[in-house]
Every structure is written in structure tokens, then in C-alpha cells.
Amino acid sequence: MITSDKTARQIFEEVMANPQRTPFGFGKKAVLVNVDPQKAYTRTDLFKTAYETDPKQFDYVNQLSRAVRALGWPVVWTHVAFLDSAEDAGVWGTRTDTPDSLQNIKYGSERAAFDERVEIDPADVVYTKRMPSAFFETPLQSLLVWHQVDTVIVTGGSTSGCIRATAVESLSRGYRTIVPMECVADKHESYHFANLTDLHLKYADVMPVAEVLAWLENQAGAADAG
């Protein structure tokens, strides 16, 4: 094992400055999967479980959403919520039982509600999930097959939890996976940057959101020209 005194942020910045892997790249058609932009994880003024990395995260997420919708491609939003009994949280809900515990994000609660800053269109797809990956026991895979997408763009949180799980499962299902770095967040910068590094080296293309928006704009231009 290589040891280092560098911070996770420093290692991430070095990896991004010196590419060591051939990018998976974009395909022909994408879905945008916005993972859990709900108050339990976004409203730092209300809940201690919330976090913020880039203060403009939701501005960027909304820009991506508008660009994907304009192409007629699917935009998906997920959030976590559990039954009053919490039995659908399974073993994941057994470690703690406090008002802030995961399994106590109940259906219809403020913690389960989407952040007011995100722009959800009536035509968007909304799924409730109960485990880290947006694919696990949701209809997401069927939706992607129907739309014949080959690229999954993932935003939301947390980088070390649900983003990582979704990205790994996306790659495992054969999708090119893109993580716009300004559009994901975590509780601590160490977890955040360590997982961005790992995702970029193994499972996804981590890149500036400007590059993702530029690709979407090029797709729109090509569609207009056609």
C-alpha cells in the first residue's frame, strides 16, 4: 500500500491534473439521475445530516436538468423515505435509532421533501429509493432501456454513499457514467475527494460541470442541424 501525507483533496487534484486513465467518454444519449437532493441532506440550516460542498450545486443541477429536458432525454430525481415502522430499511436501519437516523426519514416528512432550490418538471421521473444505489429496487433500469440511453450523468449526494453506489452499479450495468464534480456533495471533504478520486480512476468520468453542459449543447446543436 502506498502511504502519503497528502490530503484527499490534494490527491484528487493531482489525479485530475495528470490523467492516468482513458476516459469512458460520452455515448449517444444520456439520462440525468439527481440522487437525493432532499432536505435531510441539503438543508444545513435545518438538519445536522445535511452537507454542502459547492454552494452553486443546485444552480448547476438545474442547468443540467434544463439541457437534458431540451433534448427530450429523461431527467430522474430520487429521494429516500421509509415506512413508519422502518421495516423497509432492513438491516441498514438497525445501527442507530435517533431522530436523525436514516430509517426515521418518513414518507411525507420534511426530511424526505425535495429541496426548494431544485427545479422538478412535471414530466420528470421521481423515484423513492431505500438503499444507496438509485438502481436498487427502483424502475430506473427499465426506464433506461425504454429510452435506449448509454450514458448516465449522476448528481446529488453523498459522494461517498449514494453517488458512489449509483455510479458503480451504473458501470456494472454497462453504462458510461459521468459525475460532474461541482454537482455532488458530502459531509466531509476527505470522504468527498477520496471517493471522487476512486470513482474517476475506476468507475466513472469525473469532470467539471462545464464540460458536461458543453457536450449537451453540442448534442442540441447536432439535433438542430439534423
The domains of the chain are located at 26-225
**Cα end-to-end span (Å), the chain:** 52
Helix, strand and coil percent figures for the chain, each rounded to 5: 40, 15, 40
pLDDT at position 192? 98
Q: Are 94 and 22 contacting, i.e. CB atoms less than 8 angstroms apart?
A: no
Q: What is the CATH number of domain 26-225?
A: 3.40.50.850
The one-letter code for the residue type at 214 is A
Phi, psi of 154 (to 5 degrees): -115, 130
| 116-126 exposure pattern, b = at least 16 Cβ within 10 A, e = fewer | eebeeeeebbe
Q: Are 76 and 142 contacting, i.e. CB atoms less than 8 angstroms apart?
A: no
The C-alpha cell of 225 is what?
A: 442541424
Q: Are 141 and 173 contacting, i.e. CB atoms less than 8 angstroms apart?
A: yes
Q: Are 186 and 179 contacting, i.e. CB atoms less than 8 angstroms apart?
A: no
Q: Are 179 and 152 contacting, i.e. CB atoms less than 8 angstroms apart?
A: no
| 67-80 exposure pattern, b = at least 16 Cβ within 10 A, e = fewer | bbbeeebbbbbbbb
pLDDT at position 226? 66
pTM beyond 0.95: yes
Of 134, 140, 125, 19, nearest to 68 by C-alpha is 125
pLDDT at position 222? 81
183 is catalytic: no
Look at the alpha carbons of 185, 160, 158, 220 in this order and tell me if their dihedral is positive or negative: positive
33, 40, 76, 162: which one is catalytic? Answer: 162
Residues of the chain with pLDDT below 70 are 226
pLDDT at position 223? 74
pLDDT at position 19? 77
User: pLDDT for 8-35, tens place per residue?
Assistant: 999 999 999 987 779 999 999 999 999 9
